[in-house]
C-alpha cells in the first residue's frame, strides 16, 4: 500500500512513524514545501519547543466542536506521548505548570530525533515540493506538485497546517484540497497573536510591561478574564496575557463584533484601596507636579498618558488635585480600556483558528466522512489550542490516530 503525507510537521511525522512501526512494508511519501521537516516545531516556544502539556482536556481547545479532540486525547494522552518520546530517544523536562519541554531545552533536538526515526523507517521525503492539487481516479489518489504527477496512492493524509507563519511556507493548501473533495471549512483567523488598538498613544507606551488582569468584552459583555504579562507596543498590546485572550478576541473580530479589553494594572488592589494609597502618597508632596509623583506608582511613560485620559493638565500640582480626580486616576488604572481593531496577522501568529469542519471527519480515525481513505490531522482542522503546548499535543495525538488508521 502506497500512502502520501502532505505536510512534514508534527502531525504528519508522528503519523508516518506510527504507521511504519505497525507495518514496515508500507510505502510512505512525505511532501513538504521546506528544505527540511519540522520548521514549525523548530520555531515553537521561541526555539525551546513547548512540546506538550500534562494537563490537557477539551477545555484547552477552541473550534466549532472542541469535544472532537476527546478521543484522540484519550488514546494519546501524556503517558502515551512520554512513551513515544522515549522510543525516539527524547528526554523531557516537565514543569510544575504542566508545560513540557525537551530536556535539552532546544527544539532542534526534537526535530533531529524525529528525522532519525524517519530515516530508520526508510520513508521517502520530497522536500521543496509545493502541492498544487490532489485528485482521485479509480480509487487511487494523484498528487500534483511542482508541475509533476505522483500517482497510485491508496491513502492520503493532509497535515499541511494553515496560514500561521507564512515565512515558513505555511499556506492554506489543505483547505483547497479539502474543498476540492466537497469538504467545507470555517473561516480561518490568526490565533495567539498581538492585538492592534485604536488608541493614538500606542507608540508612547511602547516597551511598558506589567503583570495585569485582562478582561475581554465582546459587544459589551464580559467573555473572558486572564492574568499575566501585558506588553504595550507601537501597534497596541502583546505579552502572554494578550496572546492567551487573543483567541477569543480575534474570533469575535472575525464575526465583526465590537471587541474591547479592560486592563487592570493593579489586580491586587480594588479601586478604592488604590485611590487611598495614591491620596496618601500625595499628602506629603503637595508642591510637586502630579505627573512627577505618579512615576512612583506607574511607569514614567504611563503617567502623562494617564493624566491626559483623566483630563488633568500635566503642569498640575498635587495641592490642586481633588478627591474626584484621584478616583478618576485610580479607576483608569483599574480599568484601562483598549478598543481592539485588528491583529498582527498570520505572520506574527503562533497558530491558526478555523479550518476543515470536524463534523465531516471521523473522530476515531480522522478519515473524511465524504471521501474514503482521505485523512486530515493537526492544524488544518477547525481545532486550535491554548498557549502552553496544547497545539503541538493535538498535532501529535491526531497524527497518532491517523497513523493507526492508515494500516487498516
Per-residue pLDDT reduced to its tens digit, 129-142: 999 999 999 999 99
pLDDT at residue number 284: 85
pLDDT at residue number 205: 94
Show Cβ contacts of residue 23 under 8 Å, excluding neighbours closer than 6 positions.
407
pLDDT at residue number 202: 77
The mean pLDDT value for 306-335 works out to 95
pLDDT at residue number 20: 97
pLDDT at residue number 235: 95
What domains appear along the chain, each with residue ranges and CATH number?
Answer: 2-190+351-406 (3.50.50.60), 194-259 (no CATH), 271-334 (1.10.8.260)
| DSSP bridge partners of 215 | 225, 262
pLDDT at residue number 88: 97
pTM here is: 0.93
List the single range of 42-46, 89-93, 141-145 with lowest mean pLDDT: 42-46
The mean pLDDT value for 327-352 works out to 96
pLDDT at residue number 292: 95
Give the confidence band of 200 by pLDDT, cuts at 50, 70, 90.
confident
Give the confidence band of 324 by pLDDT, cuts at 50, 70, 90.
very high
pLDDT at residue number 408: 87
Judged against a pLDDT cut of 80, whether residue 198 lies above it is answered with yes
Judged against a pLDDT cut of 80, whether residue 59 lies above it is answered with yes
Judged against a pLDDT cut of 90, whether residue 229 lies above it is answered with yes
Which has the higher per-residue pLDDT, 121 or 46? 121
pLDDT at residue number 44: 87
User: Taking all residues of the chain, what is their mean pLDDT, rounded to a whole number?
Assistant: 96
Counting residues of the chain whose pLDDT is more than 90, the rounded percentage is 95
Residue 114, class by beta-carbon neighbours within 10 Å (0-12 exposed, 13-18 middle, 19+ buried)? buried
Reported as a single tens digit per residue, the pLDDT across 133-172 is: 999 999 999 999 999 999 999 999 999 999 999 999 999 9
Reported as a single tens digit per residue, the pLDDT across 248-292 is: 999 999 889 999 999 999 999 999 999 999 999 999 899 999 999
Reported as a single tens digit per residue, the pLDDT across 333-342 is: 999 999 999 9
Longest dimension (CA), the chain: 88
Judged against a pLDDT cut of 90, whether residue 203 lies above it is answered with no
The mean pLDDT value for 181-191 works out to 96
pLDDT at residue number 166: 93
pLDDT at residue number 397: 98
Instruction: Write the CA distances from 262 to 105, 176, 202, integer angstroms.
Output: 35, 38, 15
Judged against a pLDDT cut of 90, whether residue 47 lies above it is answered with no
Amino acid at each position: 500500500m502506497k500512502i502520501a503525507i502532505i505536510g512534514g510537521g508534527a502531525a504528519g511525522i508522528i503519523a508516518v512513524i506510527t504507521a511504519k512501526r505497525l507495518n514496515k512494508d508500507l510505502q510512505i511519501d512525505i511532501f513538504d514545501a521546506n528544505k527540511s521537516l519540522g520548521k514549525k516545531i523548530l520555531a515553537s516556544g521561541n526555539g525551546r519547543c513547548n512540546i506538550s502539556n500534562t494537563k490537557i482536556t477539551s477545555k484547552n481547545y477552541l473550534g466549532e466542536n472542541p469535544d472532537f479532540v476527546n478521543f484522540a486525547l484519550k488514546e494519546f494522552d501524556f503517558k502515551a506521548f512520554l512513551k513515544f518520546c522515549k522510543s525516539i530517544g527524547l528526554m523531557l523536562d516537565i514543569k510544575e505548570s504542566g508545560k513540557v519541554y525537551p530536556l535539552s531545552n532546544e527544539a532542534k533536538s526534537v526535530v533531529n530525533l524525529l528525522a532519525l526515526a524517519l530515516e530508520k523507517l526508510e520513508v521517502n521525503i520530497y522536500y521543496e515540493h509545493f502541492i498544487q492539487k490532489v485528485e482521485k481516479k479509480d480509487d487511487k489518489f494523484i498528487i500534483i506538485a511542482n508541475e509533476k504527477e505522483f500517482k497510485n496512492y491508496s491513502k492520503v493524509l493532509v497535515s499541511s497546517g494553515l496560514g500561521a507563519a507564512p515565512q515558513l511556507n505555511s499556506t492554506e493548501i489543505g483547505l483547497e484540497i479539502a474543498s476540492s473533495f466537497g469538504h467545507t471549512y470555517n473561516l480561518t483567523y490568526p490565533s495567539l497573536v498581538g492585538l492592534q488598538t485604536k488608541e493614538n498613544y500606542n507608540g508612547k507606551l511602547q516597551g511598558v510591561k506589567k503583570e495585569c488582569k485582562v478582561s475581554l468584552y465582546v459587544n459589551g459583555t464580559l467573555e473572558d478574564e486572564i492574568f499575566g504579562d501585558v506588553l504595550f507596543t507601537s501597534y497596541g498590546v502583546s505579552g502572554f496575557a494578550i496572546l492567551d485572550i487573543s483567541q477569543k478576541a480575534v474570533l469575535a473580530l472575525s464575526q465583526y463584533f465590537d471587541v474591547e479589553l479592560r486592563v487592570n494594572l493593579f489586580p491586587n488592589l480594588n479601586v478604592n484601596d488604590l485611590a487611598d494609597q495614591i491620596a496618601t502618597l500625595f499628602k506629603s508632596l503637595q508642591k510637586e507636579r502630579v505627573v512627577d509623583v505618579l512615576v512612583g506608582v506607574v511607569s514614567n511613560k504611563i503617567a502623562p498618558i494617564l493624566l491626559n485620559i483623566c483630563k488633568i493638565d500635566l503642569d498640575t500640582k498635587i495641592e490642586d488635585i481633588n478627591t474626584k480626580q484621584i478616583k478618576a486616576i485610580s479607576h483608569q488604572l483599574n480599568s484601562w480600556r483598549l478598543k481592539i481593531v485588528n491583529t498582527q496577522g498570520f505572520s506574527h501568529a503562533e497558530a491558526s483558528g478555523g479550518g476543515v469542519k470536524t463534523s465531516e471527519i471521523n473522530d476515531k480515525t480522522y478519515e473524511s466522512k465524504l471521501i474514503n481513505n482521505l485523512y486530515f490531522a493537526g492544524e488544518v482542522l477547525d481545532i486550535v489550542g491554548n498557549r502552553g503546548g496544547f497545539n503541538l499535543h493535538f498535532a501529535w495525538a491526531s497524527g497518532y490516530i491517523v497513523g493507526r488508521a492508515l494500516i487498516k
